[in-house]
Structure 1
Amino acid sequence: MVTGPAVRISPTDLNRLLISLEVKFVVLSECLVSEGYCLEMGTVNAPGIHYNISGSGRLVIKGHPPIELKPHTLVIVPPKSAFRIEAEGFHRGQQNLRTVDGDLVAVAKDTIHYVSAGDGEPEIVLICGYFDACYGSAVDLFGALTAPIVEQFAEQDRLDTTLRDALSELVSQEVGAGAMSATLLKLVIVHILRRSLHSNNLWVERFSLLRDPQIARVFAEMASNPGGQHTVNSLAQNAYLSRSAFMARFVEVVGQPPMNVLRDLRMRQAAEQLRTGQIPIEQVVRNSGYESRSSFARAFRKAFNMDPSEYRSAADAGTAPTSTTLGLHVDCVDEAPARYVAPEFS
């Protein structure tokens, strides 16, 4: 008998988490694989999203069962995972597929990569992107993923249209193209995480925040209102846990103590306000939940290696770092795709 999912995050808390989530592309590509071909892709230090536009075949990640690809199949591949895409020929007894190294045939145009295996009509067309989905430098939502996420969507979900629009935005290189493409990718991530409310698929249980509703409620409150007067005691009360139980559960789920996470969330908010508005620094300090400018400045300097006023000047000049290029995410965002070494697939 099929049973429903375990008790998980509430729709209200998931909504708050999704509003606060930052999503950015590392790279976006279009992959075309002809019948009888196999496209092998190397490792990248970021999760990958692969949406099958048309055709059939399979995606094979080392150490995991092959994933059948049909139109509108979406696969999220864990970071640092080499994989291969096989066109439908393997179903017809073509055991010796012609293998193409994706790193060698990739053609870059602006921020788009085009990767093709075979020179005939493609059997499989996928839009593939590596991305960063995080809460500032505090929590990388997909960073600890160790097994693929697989969901079958339908034509009416229009995810193919959304991803093609993201490609078009990046190709256009118009003002705001990066922001628009990131927004479109976030729409896709929202589609996936919505399914965590009802899906029986086991991938839902791989996200600590999605399977622990008490800690999720607290984290959602912190992420949506970093400047609130949060303390360990108030957060524990909001989770309906004792202080010690809350601390243990929070670290287990999130990976860091709550006050460390809160500081990072506050610095992200402060950087955004310094970057995008003319809010006086004193107001930024208050909005961040700090009572004194000196304590705020110390925390900000530790995060960004510059004072708030210096950061605002750098932002005006277009040279200020963003919160997602700090701490846990520097490798994910800045590292180029690793040179591919063909793995031994089982």
Structure 2
Amino acid sequence: MEADLLDRLLVTLAVRLRSFSVCTIQRGWRLGFSPFEAITVHYVLRGTGSLRVGHGPWRSFAPHTIIVVPARHSHSLGAAEDCIGEVRAEDHCVLHGDGLISFTAGDGSPDALFVCGQIADTHTGAMGLFELFQAPMVETFPSDPVLRYAFELMLAEVVSPNLATQAMTEVLMKQCLILLLRRQLVASDFTSPILAALQNPKLARAVLAILEQPGARYSVDSLAALASMGRTSFAEGFATAFGQGPMEFVQRVRLRIASRLLSGTDLPVKVIAATVGYASRSAFSKAFEVEFGAAPSQFRLVGGMDEGEPERIESEPPTEPT
């Protein structure tokens, strides 16, 4: 992929990642996670082991590994063979520090240590492109000095949590994730459907135009021209790569931006509708309600969606002191 196109795509994806837990696993133990609604990202700060998503194969990991698990998939971390015991994360959950929670497998000293986060819900995260992410990724960076330094900083924060530990780890986690996406985008062996879709520079040009100027007037013909493709081949190629037609993609990008403006600004609904490319408020409101299940004014009234808050496993509430 062309370097300038790659850089613009990475900026436009605007990945939103929130750290939410620290995981510790004793050698020989296994920690199981029920499916989350958001994409889960594990950063291996210390130790070795394996990952299994659903009933798929075990994949090994080592320190300085980033593990990305698709949404709505159960997964396990830890011992692939000779497992002493497996526990569910939701059954071994305590407060770690500064808003982070801790999941633990084993009753001895931990051998593997992770910091974990989630990519924001698909209504707002990366303009919905991560909806296409269905295959797990396990990437190790043993010799990259920038990533090694970021992992060492995360380790220091997690080992001794303090004020702003969560904020610090989120910054470092996002930096590492962007570097992972950059590596994947320039690689020849794409493992993720989203990255495979963006590998085609012609389709990527059309996607980039939509993401950079969502309020512009588009048609299948105009997008095909941007991609330097014929109308039919463009429409078919886009649907195959992204699982939706080009105009459906345009509408969903517009509505995601609108949801941010509704929850984050006081702009009138009519202004937001025009800004994201709708000719009338009524057409915008109808499309918005179909997508989000609520009218724009109602969506704003209840505060929209909390982009930074992932689906968390609930722990027991603290008891009143006696």
TM category (shorter chain) comes to 0.7 to 0.9
Distance in 2, matches of 1:67 and 1:139, equals 29
Question: Which residue pairs with 1:97 in the alignment?
Answer: 84
Judging changes above 3 Å, is the alpha-carbon distance between structure 1 residues 138 and 301 closer, same or farther for their aligned structure 2 residues? farther
Give aligned pairs, total: 307
1:85 aligns to 2:78 (yes or no)? yes
Distance in 1, matches of 2:153 and 2:9, equals 21
Question: Which residue pairs with 2:10 in the alignment?
Answer: 18
Deviation at 1:61, TM superposition (A): 4.0
1:129 aligns to 2:120 (yes or no)? no
1:194 aligns to 2:185 (yes or no)? no
Could you tell me which runs of 5 or more consecutive residues in structure 2 were left unpaired when the two chains were aligned: 315-322
Judging changes above 3 Å, is the alpha-carbon distance between structure 1 residues 196 and 104 closer, same or farther for their aligned structure 2 residues? same
After superposition, residues 114-263 of structure 1 pair within 5 angstroms as: 114-132=102-120, 134=122, 136=124, 140-153=128-141, 154=144, 156-157=146-147, 158-160=149-151, 185-203=173-191, 207-263=195-251
Amino acid across the alignment from 1:160: F
Distance in 2, matches of 1:276 and 1:45, equals 23
- Of 321, 333, 338, the residue aligned with 2:304 is 321
Percent identity over the alignment is 27
Amino acid across the alignment from 1:81: S
Judging changes above 3 Å, is the alpha-carbon distance between structure 1 residues 336 and 27 closer, same or farther for their aligned structure 2 residues? farther
Deviation at 1:156, TM superposition (A): 3.2
Distance in 2, matches of 1:307 and 1:197, equals 36
Superposition CA RMSD, Å? 3.8
Deviation at 1:222, TM superposition (A): 0.5
Deviation per CA, 1:178-230, whole angstroms, max 9, x where unpaired? 8x876654333211110024334442566332222211211111112101121
SS at match of 1:275: helix
- Of 55, 59, 78, the residue aligned with 1:67 is 59
Deviation at 1:125, TM superposition (A): 0.9
Could you tell me which runs of 5 or more consecutive residues in structure 1 were left unpaired when the two chains were aligned: 1-8, 326-331, 338-346
CA contact (8 A) 1:232 1:258 kept: yes
Deviation at 1:49, TM superposition (A): 1.4
CA contact (8 A) 1:33 1:86 kept: no
CA contact (8 A) 2:14 2:126 kept: no
Amino acid across the alignment from 1:84: L
Judging changes above 3 Å, is the alpha-carbon distance between structure 1 residues 234 and 248 closer, same or farther for their aligned structure 2 residues? same
Distance in 1, matches of 2:256 and 2:128, equals 14
CA contact (8 A) 2:129 2:194 kept: no
Deviation at 1:70, TM superposition (A): 1.9
Deviation at 1:307, TM superposition (A): 4.3
CA contact (8 A) 2:19 2:169 kept: no
CA contact (8 A) 1:22 1:136 kept: no
Distance in 1, matches of 2:258 and 2:32, equals 42
Judging changes above 3 Å, is the alpha-carbon distance between structure 1 residues 296 and 165 closer, same or farther for their aligned structure 2 residues? farther
Distance in 2, matches of 1:201 and 1:208, equals 9
Distance in 2, matches of 1:302 and 1:207, equals 28
Deviation per CA, 1:72-108, whole angstroms, max 9, x where unpaired? 0122123313223129xx7xxxx35343333322225
Q: TM-score, normalised by structure 2?
A: 0.77
Judging changes above 3 Å, is the alpha-carbon distance between structure 1 residues 234 and 201 closer, same or farther for their aligned structure 2 residues? closer
Distance in 1, matches of 2:67 and 2:283, equals 44
SS at match of 1:122: coil
Judging changes above 3 Å, is the alpha-carbon distance between structure 1 residues 26 and 246 closer, same or farther for their aligned structure 2 residues? same
Amino acid across the alignment from 2:205: R
Amino acid across the alignment from 2:10: L
Judging changes above 3 Å, is the alpha-carbon distance between structure 1 residues 39 and 269 closer, same or farther for their aligned structure 2 residues? closer
Bigger mean CA deviation after superposition, 16-25 or 75-84: 16-25
CA contact (8 A) 2:52 2:77 kept: yes
Q: TM-score, normalised by structure 1?
A: 0.72
Distance in 2, matches of 1:100 and 1:285, equals 48
Bigger mean CA deviation after superposition, 216-225 or 120-129: 120-129
Distance in 2, matches of 1:202 and 1:140, equals 19
Deviation at 1:280, TM superposition (A): 5.1
CA contact (8 A) 1:23 1:133 kept: no
CA contact (8 A) 2:32 2:74 kept: no
Amino acid across the alignment from 1:156: V
Question: Which residue pairs with 1:37 in the alignment?
Answer: 29
